[in-house]
Homo-oligomer: A and B are copies of this chain.
C-alpha cells in the first residue's frame, strides 16, 4: 500500500503544477522570431491556459501545433510578395557599396521591408470580424514580439496588459521605453559594432549614433505611428506604445550581452531556444558517425537565408574543402561546381541537436541570436558571417569574448574563410573561451523557458505588473534629469552670492562714508 502511495506521489510530482487557467492572446512576429516564442506558447498551453495565436493567413514558418488555437485574419499580400521583399532586403545587404551609400541603401530597404510587412497589421485592423472576435474573447493578457509593433498597438487598443518577448529594438527603444538608463560611455549602441570598451572616438561615434537614433526609428516606424494614432484616436509616439509593457522578456543574458543597467521588469531569457533537445534523425546520425575523429562542422545562415550568390557559394565551398571535418551545410541554392567531398548540402538541419553532439567542432553562422545561443549552450566555437539586423553586433560580442571569429561577408575570400575555420577548430583558446561562456550561461537558478512562462502567467494572474512600473514614467524630460532642481539651486547660489556681494559693498560704502564723514569734519576743523 505504502509503495502504491509512493508511485501515486511520483505521478502527482510529474503532473504540471496547479494553474489558474488564464486566457492569453499571442501576437508573434513571422519568421525565425517565432521559433523560440513557440516553445513558451506550447508550455503555457500544456499548463492549462487557453492560448490563441493570432496569425496572418499568409506567413512564413508559422508551424501550427495542436496545443493552442490559431486565429487567422485575411491579408491582401501573397507569400510571393513577402518573399520578394525579403529577398530584395537580403540582396541589398550583400551588395558592396562605399560608405555612406551602403548605410543609406540599408536604411531605405529596411524601411521598405518594414512597410511591406506592416501592411499585414493594417489588414488586421481592417478586419472587423477579427477585431470583434478578439474583443469578445476576454483575454487576460497579450504576449507579443513587438519588433513590428502590431501586438503593441493591439494591446493598447484593447487596454490589455502585455508582455514583450524579443531580442531588442533597433534604436535602444527596449531600454528607453522601460526607463533604463544607458550611459553612452560604455554601452555601445546597436549598429555601431563597438564593444563596451571604446576609444575616445568610438565614444564620440556612439554619442552621434544615439542622437540619430530616435529620428531613425521615427522614420522606420512612421507607418506604425500613423496607424496607431488612427486606431487609438489620439496622438501616439513610439514610446507611448511601448512604455506600458508589464514585463520585457529579453532573449539574451550577460554572458553574451555587455553588462549595463537594467530595470526590474526586464527578464533575461537568453538561451531559451536551447530547451528542446531531441535525438538526431537517422540520416544525420549516420553522417556524424561517419565523420570519424575529425568530427563535424555545422553551417547555416539561418532559417531565413538559404541561398547566396553563386560567386560567394563557390568561395565558401572552396574553403570548406580545406578542413578534414565533415561539413553539414544548410543550402537550397544551386550546387557550387567545386563542392568538396567532405561537404554535405542539406535543405534543413537539426541545428541545436547537431551542435549538442560531442563531434561538433565548429559552427559557421550568420550570427542570428538563436544560432549564437545554440553555439553558446553547446560550447561550439563559431565563424560568424553576419548579414543584417543585429547579426553584426552579435558577431562582434562573440568575437570580443574570444569565442569565435567574424568575417565580412562582402569582402571575405576563400582563404579568409579557411583560415578562420581552421583557427576556431585548432586553436584551443576558442574552445576554452566558448566552454567558459557556456559554463557561465548554463549555471542558472532556473531555466529561461520556465522563467518566461512564469512571468507571462504572473501578468495574466495579476492583470499586469504595476508594482514594477518606475515612477520615472510620470516625469517629463526636464524633471527626470533634475534640470529644474539644478536651475533652482544655481539660482539660489547666485542670488546668495549677489546678496552677499551687495551686503559687502553696502558695508564697505558705509565704512568709507563714515571714514569720509569723520575725516571731513576733521578737515573742516583743520581749516
A residues contacting B by CB (< 8 A) are: 3-4, 6-7, 9-10, 13, 179-181, 183-186, 196-197, 200, 203-204, 207-208, 254-255, 258-265, 268, 437, 439-440, 443-446, 450-451, 454-455, 458, 461-462, 465, 467-472, 474-475, 479-482, 484-486, 488-489
Contact = CB atoms under 8 A, between A and B. Distances in A.
B443 A458 contact: yes
B264 A471 contact: no
A458 B440 CA distance: 8
A4 to B, nearest CB: 8
A254 B3 contact: no
Contacts of A259: 263-265, 467-471
A158 to B, nearest CB: 23
A471 B197 contact: yes
A247 to B, nearest CB: 12
A286 to B, nearest CB: 34
Contact of A462 (B9, B204, B207, B443): B443
Chain B CB count within 10 A is highest, among A208, A462, A479, A485, for: A485
Nearest to A261: B261
A226 B9 CA distance: 60
A480 B7 contact: no
Nearest to A203: B485
Given A254-B467, A261-B262, A468-B254, A185 B480 contact: yes
Contact of A7 (B6, B180, B488): B6
Given A6-B10, A7-B3, A470 B185 contact: no
Given A443-B462, A462-B440, A263 B264 contact: no
A181 B184 CA distance: 13
Contacts of A437: 467
Contacts of A458: 443
A484 B206 CA distance: 13
Contacts of A471: 186, 196-197, 258-259
The number of times this chain is found in the oligomer is: 2
Nearest to A255: B467
A485 B200 contact: yes
A379 B307 CA distance: 60
Contacts of A268: 264
> Top 8 closest A-B pairs, CB basis?
A196-B471, A445-B454, A186-B471, A3-B3, A259-B470, A261-B261, A181-B181, A254-B264
Given A254-B468, A445-B450, 4 more contacts: A181-B181, A183-B482, A185-B472, A261-B263
A259 B474 CA distance: 13
Contact of A445 (B263, B451, B462): B451
Nearest to A256: B467
B261 A181 contact: yes
Chain B CB count within 10 A is highest, among A4, A203, A471, A480, for: A471
A265 B261 CA distance: 10
Chain B CB count within 10 A is highest, among A200, A259, A446, A488, for: A259
Chain B CB count within 10 A is highest, among A184, A445, A468, A474, for: A445
Contacts of A262: 261-264
A207 B6 contact: no
B484 A467 contact: no
A434 to B, nearest CB: 13
A446 B445 contact: yes
Contacts of A472: 183, 185-186
Contacts of A186: 470-472, 474-475, 480
13 contacts: A183-B472, A183-B481, A184-B482, A186-B474, A196-B471, A203-B482, A204-B485, A207-B485, A254-B468, A261-B262, A262-B262, A437-B467, A445-B454
A200 B491 CA distance: 15
Nearest to A457: B443
A484 B200 contact: yes
